[in-house]
Amino acid sequence: MNRFLCEPGGLMLNTSAAYHFSQTLSYISLHALPIIALATNSLILLLVLTNSRLNRSSFSVYVKSMAISDTLVLVFKLLSFENKTSTIFYSPTMCSALVFLCDASVLLSVWTIVLITVERALVVIFPIHIKKFVSECRARVLIMLIALMSVMFSSRVLLIPIDVSSEQKKRCHPVADWQNYRQINAAITEFSYCFIPLSIVIIGNCVTLYTVKRAIFQRHQILTNHVYHQKRTLETNESQLMLMLLIVTLMFMVYFLPFTITSLISMWGLPFGFCFTQKHFEHYLIIRSIFEFLKDLNFCTNFIIYCISGRRFRYAFFSLVHRRHNRLFSSLRSSKSTKQRTEQLLQQNIVKLGDINVKPTFEGSHL
């Protein structure tokens, strides 16, 4: 970013409030979001695996893939940060390995969203051939192919050698001859999980929403023209589909589009030859840190999106909570009844022992 500054040598950020805000938000993103992702995505897997209605369609395959990959993204990101900064352990071989695993998980998660978008667009555009596009077996094959391609595509980072010489003070820093390759590799990876998927998701969802809206309008015209003798209420499947797609598209754009814009600015600078001053760069740093936090937030809020947009998923969650509550209440009630029973038996035994002690013996009565 120094080449985009109006005064490259006059930038002082170590003592500014923007720098401290960026560091604090980055710390929260690295340490708090993995815990949230682990909890929410584990709950998603539990709901899908325990509910037979959710676990028998292509939807379950995509949801399980996203839950696993989203969790791995934030966990590997945290491990990579700790490997660079921790005083307890440091492994140069883990530098490239953790970046490789994090990039592969990001690609799998993002391109799973692309698969969902393309599948729903094909289903809406060609509703007669729905069985050709929607299949659990087909979804598994596609997820395996994307996972394999993500691993192969991200393996380029494993070729970068790490500088382990005593003169190098920075951890996980590549050899001087490989620094340009590392920058090019990071730009290619960012382009593959940010720019291309975002464009496909926006275009696919716009086409789907337009097709569904046109279908609802045509049905409304047919019903209002009294083509059918008996009027029937419109089904809400199309409306629910529109709502779900709208929420998914909106959240994906909210999470990734601002980060994409700031990434373009960091790569190519401001348009029309403008440059950053000290104050403007501090504002840019705050905005960029917020947008990076939103990007990471995408990997731990799918549970909320599913509960809001999916009625069946919401019902499965409430039924699971209700079953757990009933089991806990029944176990507590059985433990209370067992405790009361034991107390009654103890009281009866105490009364019997008292009667035995009070009752005179045969020798005593004879005397």
Give the SS3 label for residue 6.
Answer: coil
Question: What tens digit of pLDDT does each residue of 308-328 get?
Answer: 877 777 787 888 777 766 666
**What's the pTM value of the predicted model, to 2 decimals?**
0.78
pLDDT at 367: 37
Strand partners, 5: 276
Structural domains in the chain plus CATH codes: 2-309 (1.20.1070.10)
Q: Among residues 81, 67, 60, which one has the least CA distance to residue 135?
A: 60
pLDDT at 111: 92
Burial degree of 143 (CB within 10 A; 0-12, 13-18, 19+): buried
Q: In the chain, count H helices and then E strands.
A: 13, 0
Question: What tens digit of pLDDT does each residue of 161-188 get?
Answer: 888 777 777 788 888 888 888 888 888 8
Instruction: Look up residue 87 and give its DSSP letter.
Output: S
Q: Among residues 61, 62, 151, which one has the least CA distance to residue 105?
A: 151
Sign of CA dihedral 183, 188, 192, 194: positive
pLDDT at 227: 44
CA–CA separation, 149 and 275 (whole Å)? 39
CA–CA separation, 207 and 121 (whole Å)? 7
Instruction: Look up residue 269 and give its DSSP letter.
Output: -
Question: What tens digit of pLDDT does each residue of 29-61 get?
Answer: 999 999 999 999 999 888 888 877 777 777 788
Question: What tens digit of pLDDT does each residue of 93-149 get?
Answer: 888 889 899 999 999 999 998 888 888 888 778 777 767 777 788 889 999 999 999
* Pair of tokens at residue 65: 């893939």
CA–CA separation, 117 and 102 (whole Å)? 23
Q: Among residues 162, 195, 177, which one has the least CA distance to residue 267?
A: 195
Burial of 117-127, coded b for 16+ CB within 10 Å and e otherwise, reads bbbbbbbbeee
